[in-house]
Amino acid sequence: MDAPPNAWLEVARSADSRAVRHWALVLQSLGVPHAVSQQPGTHLLLVPVDRAAQASAELRRYEQENRGWPPREVLPKPNSDGIVLAVGYLALIGILHLAVLRDLFQLDWKDAGSARAVEITAGEWWQAITALTLHADIVHLAGNMLFGAIFGLFLAHSVGSGLAALGFVITGAIGNLVNAWVQPSEHVSIGASTAVFGVLGAQVAYEFVRRKDGRMPSWKKRLPLVIGLILLGMLGMGGVSHDITNIEAESRRFEQLLERTDVVAHITGFLSGLLYGALLGWRRRLPPFRDMTDSLLGACALLAILGAWILAFRAH
């Protein structure tokens, strides 16, 4: 039985109101009269009977052209599992801490390797590297072990263990060098935290560049930067907690914590990491390194640390 000339026919239905709105916008852009009727559990899209064939054809074309849109984000294949890097990092700073405690080879490791601003600015640049392997106590060591291994694993997954290992040395050294120039001449610092925040910054910048090249909402592209800044704020101040029942005691505790926590070094490490990560993000457009090359890069990082310690002991 033919429908009356002024009748309206259903051309589409869906329980998803957003989908029906999209279809309605398609018809609106084509100048096709339409109406949406809400029924229990579903939404109907109606058009005049004399436009039903056109509306159906246009909606089919719209669905075919937009099938699979928006595209799902394809997660990149890990460049490395990062296990060798993490184990090597933990072993290195752990062994160096034991060397300090036992005066291994009857050497004063802390005196030779600490980053002294006055000596670094006078030309003893190797202290910017040696200081990364020294720690004040077991708590200081444990914190840098934990977060250094975690951030190192992420960066190794993204760029490979060799570039991640170099990231620890390069960003940590640059962070300490800049820190020495901006701090008072009597400033002394030790700890891997400059490199830990450098690796964090590198991962943040790399992920930002990677996402910028993809198709996704702008807030998702900026999310790595936001997360990185949050982690810098939370961890870079030493993880402070407060007891509001004793403001005076907490204020003293906060001041003592700031004295022990080299906040400026954390920031300079993070900023140097952002630059390193941006370069790695640009490099991802080139063919990846072979396994042998990646291993050589990791060896270069270890040799840089060894060479810095040799220079440190010769100078002292």
Give the CA radius of gyration of the chain. Answer: 29
pLDDT tens readout for residues 61-75: 888 877 655 556 555
Q: Is the pLDDT of residue 242 over 50?
A: no
pLDDT tens readout for residues 272-289: 999 999 999 988 877 777
Does a structural domain hold residue 211? yes
Residue with tokens 């930067």: 225
Same structural domain, 279 and 193: yes
Q: Which residue has the higher pLDDT, 176 or 7?
A: 176
Q: How confident is the model at residue 257 (pLDDT cuts 50, 70, 90)?
A: very low
Does a structural domain hold residue 77? no
pLDDT tens readout for residues 127-181: 999 999 999 889 999 999 999 999 999 999 999 999 999 999 999 999 999 999 9
Among left, alpha and beta (phi > 0; psi -120 to 50; other), residue 154 is alpha
Q: Which amino acid is at 302?
A: L
Q: Is the pLDDT of residue 40 over 90?
A: no
Region 25-30 average pLDDT:
88
Same structural domain, 56 and 106: no
The helix (H) or strand (E) run that includes residue 189 is: strand 188-189
Does a structural domain hold residue 95? yes
Does a structural domain hold residue 309? yes
Same structural domain, 36 and 123: no
Residue 246, SS3 per DSSP: coil
Residue 298 has a pLDDT of: 92
Residue 245 has a pLDDT of: 47
Give percent of the chain above pLDDT 90.
52
Is 307 within 8 Å of 235 (Cβ atoms)?
Answer: no
Does a structural domain hold residue 59? yes
**And the tokens for 115?**
């980053």
Residue with tokens 């290195």: 92
- Out of 16-30, 117-131, 246-260, 287-301, which region has the weakest mean confidence (pLDDT)? 246-260
Same structural domain, 89 and 12: no
Residue 73 has a pLDDT of: 58
Residue 3 has a pLDDT of: 53
Residue 194 has a pLDDT of: 96
Does a structural domain hold residue 71? no
Residue 256 has a pLDDT of: 46
Does a structural domain hold residue 1? no
Does a structural domain hold residue 252? yes
Same structural domain, 24 and 90: no
Alpha-carbon distances of 73 from 158, 163, 214, 217, rounded to whole Å: 16, 25, 8, 11
Same structural domain, 129 and 31: no
Residue 193 has a pLDDT of: 95
Region 214-231 average pLDDT:
84
Residue 198 has a pLDDT of: 97
CA distance 42 to 63: 19
Same structural domain, 158 and 249: yes
CATH at residue 254: 1.20.1540.10
CATH at residue 41: 3.30.70.1070
Same structural domain, 28 and 158: no
Same structural domain, 98 and 197: yes
Same structural domain, 35 and 152: no
Q: Is the pLDDT of residue 241 over 80?
A: no
CB-based burial label for 254 (10 Å; 0-12, 13-18, 19+):
middle
Residue 316 has a pLDDT of: 77
Q: What is the mean pLDDT of the chain?
A: 85
Same structural domain, 48 and 117: no
Range of the domain at 119: 83-315
Is 24 within 8 Å of 34 (Cβ atoms)?
Answer: yes
Residue 299 has a pLDDT of: 94
37, 65, 93 — which closes off a domain? 65
Domain total of the chain: 2
Same structural domain, 133 and 223: yes
